[in-house]
Structure formats: C-alpha cells, structure tokens
C-alpha cells in the first residue's frame, strides 16, 4: 500500500509517483503509465519541458482510474516565466493533459528576477479550481526565504534532487520545519546509485534491490519519491518500499555516501548566472 502525506493546503499526496522525464516517445509513456497504475501508483510527475503531456493525457484518459484518485503534477518552464506567461503555459498544459485541473502545479526552476512574480501567478491559479496545490522545484533556502518574505503562501512541496549521493540535510530540515513537503526527484541518481558498493551491501542484507534501498532511504527521511522508469518490472518493484524498514545504523551508513552528485543538470539558460 502506497502511503500518503497531508500537504499544507490539506490535500493528500501519495509518497510515491512515476517520474516522466526522458520519455518523449508515446509507447514508453503508455507503458510507464499503464504499468504504474497497475502497480498501484496514483501520482504522475510531468512538466511542459518533458514534451510528453499530450501522451500522458491520452494514457490517463484510457487508464480506467477515476480522475479523483490520481495526483497529477506539472510545472511551468523558465521561458514562460521570463515572458510573464505562466497562466498561458498552465492552460496549455491542462489542454495537453486533457484535464480540467492538476493536483499540484510547480515553478520548475527559480529563474532570477522572475520567480517572485511567477509565484504570485501560481497563487492566483490556486484560488481557481484548476489547481489544488502549488509548489516549487529546485529552490534553495534563499529562494524559499525570499518567497516567505514576499508572499503569505507557503509552497506545499519543494521538488529537489535527492538520493544517498546528494543529501542536502539543511534544506530538507528547513522545508520540513516550515510545512513544505520535500519530494525527491531523480531518487536513484538517474541510475548511478544502483552500482554503489554500500547500497549493494545494504540491499543484500535486507534481500531487496539497490533501487528499493535508495527509495526507502528517502522515504525514511520523510520525503516522497518519483523514480523514473519505463520498465514494467522496475516500476513494480520500485513500489514495494512501504513494507520494510532500514535500521538506523544502516541509514547512518547510507548517509555517509553523500558527495553532492547531481544526475540532472542545471538547465542551459541558468548555467552562467547566479540563481
């Protein structure tokens, strides 16, 4: 059974979802979503920049799961932020997804000079029925503090890269003490976690896969996770992370692995500017 968490706007979010980045091909999208819903997933993470919202919309329409039982996430990309076109970008996402609301809409990256105004746009959207919760992604403490000072609305979620090779304890604790749910993206470090000796040793001890150990580590840190996969067996086994516990001493060993490794790069348009 996939656990859920109550967000600060009183909506419930599953703690496991399917990540849809790197899936631009219709067949991969349909396989991933069908396999995920069959395995019990109800949360789907996408973004306009993943260029697959249309296929995801088609898969959702056919998947036989009532809309109210699904939790759909999308994000506004940097270009729309710079153009002041967040509301337009949101409408286009809804249209591609064939939906009349999303459960969570996020600022994909804190574009300097823009993200404050984008947040105000998201706040406006959240007063309509078209968005149930609003959140951010790739925000550091300084960005969250800037939002806190400028806006009365606290993001429901901050989606950040997090896995044993990149554990930003300070940011996670800041979010958790301010009512912001942390969602770990690339929770397998894009696959780089899976060959790490320490993770493999822990996996053997618990008779689990390395992926299950990395995902369970994040769950025990109080995070939600959105592993990406278009492989039915991987999708199924990645969901089996709520029926075992990693002991504290092994969690401490996994904590020693963090070395700031990033599998998802910084977008080109933010590379040469401090943000």
Would you name the residues annotated as active-site residues?
A: 50
Query: Residues 192-221: x/- map of binding to ligand NAP (CB under 6 A)?
Result: --x--------------x-x----------
Give the pair of three-digit tokens for residue 213.
Answer: 């150990």
Q: Is 227 in the site for ligand NAP (CB under 6 A)?
A: yes
**CA terminus-to-terminus distance, the chain:** 39
Q: Which is nearer to ligand NAP, 21 or 81 (CB)?
A: 21
Q: Is 25 in the site for ligand NAP (CB under 6 A)?
A: no
Q: Is 21 in the site for ligand NAP (CB under 6 A)?
A: yes
Query: Residues 38-77: x/- map of binding to ligand NAP (CB under 6 A)?
Result: -------x--------------------------------
Q: Is 186 in the site for ligand NAP (CB under 6 A)?
A: yes
Q: Is 234 in the site for ligand NAP (CB under 6 A)?
A: yes
- 17-19 and 224-225 beta bridge pairing: unpaired
Q: Which is nearer to ligand NAP, 14 or 190 (CB)?
A: 190
Instruction: Name the site residues for ligand NAP (rule: CB under 6 A).
Output: 19-22, 45, 108, 137-138, 159, 185-191, 194, 209, 211, 226-231, 234, 237-238, 263-264
């Amino acid at each position: 059974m996939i656990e859920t968490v109550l967000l600060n706007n009183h909506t419930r979010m599953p703690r496991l979802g399917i990540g849809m980045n790197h899936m631009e091909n219709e067949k991969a999208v349909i396989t991933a979503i069908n396999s995920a819903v069959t395995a019990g997933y109800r949360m789907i993470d996408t973004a306009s920049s993943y260029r697959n919202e249309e296929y995801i919309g088609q898969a959702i329409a056919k998947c036989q799961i009532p809309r109210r039982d699904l939790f759909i996430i999308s994000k506004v990309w940097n270009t729309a932020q710079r153009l002041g076109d967040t509301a337009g970008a949101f409408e286009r996402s809804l249209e591609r997804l064939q939906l009349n609301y999303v459960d969570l809409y996020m600022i994909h990256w804190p574009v300097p000079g823009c993200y404050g105004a984008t947040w105000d746009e998201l706040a406006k959207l959240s007063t309509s029925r078209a968005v149930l919760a609003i959140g951010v992604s790739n925000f550091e403490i300084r960005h969250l503090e800037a939002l806190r000072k400028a806006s009365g609305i606290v993001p429901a979620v901050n989606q950040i890269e997090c896995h044993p090779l990149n554990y930003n304890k300070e940011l996670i604790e800041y979010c958790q003490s301010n009512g912001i749910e942390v969602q770990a993206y690339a929770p397998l470090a894009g696959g780089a976690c899976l060959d790490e000796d320490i993770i493999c040793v822990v996996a053997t001890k618990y008779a689990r896969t390395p992926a299950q150990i990395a995902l369970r580590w994040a769950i025990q840190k109080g995070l939600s996770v959105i592993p990406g996969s278009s492989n039915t067996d991987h999708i199924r086994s990645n969901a089996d992370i709520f029926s075992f516990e990693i002991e504290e001493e092994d969690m401490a060993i996994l904590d020693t692995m963090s070395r700031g490794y990033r599998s998802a790069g910084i977008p080109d348009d933010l590379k040469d500017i401090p943000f």
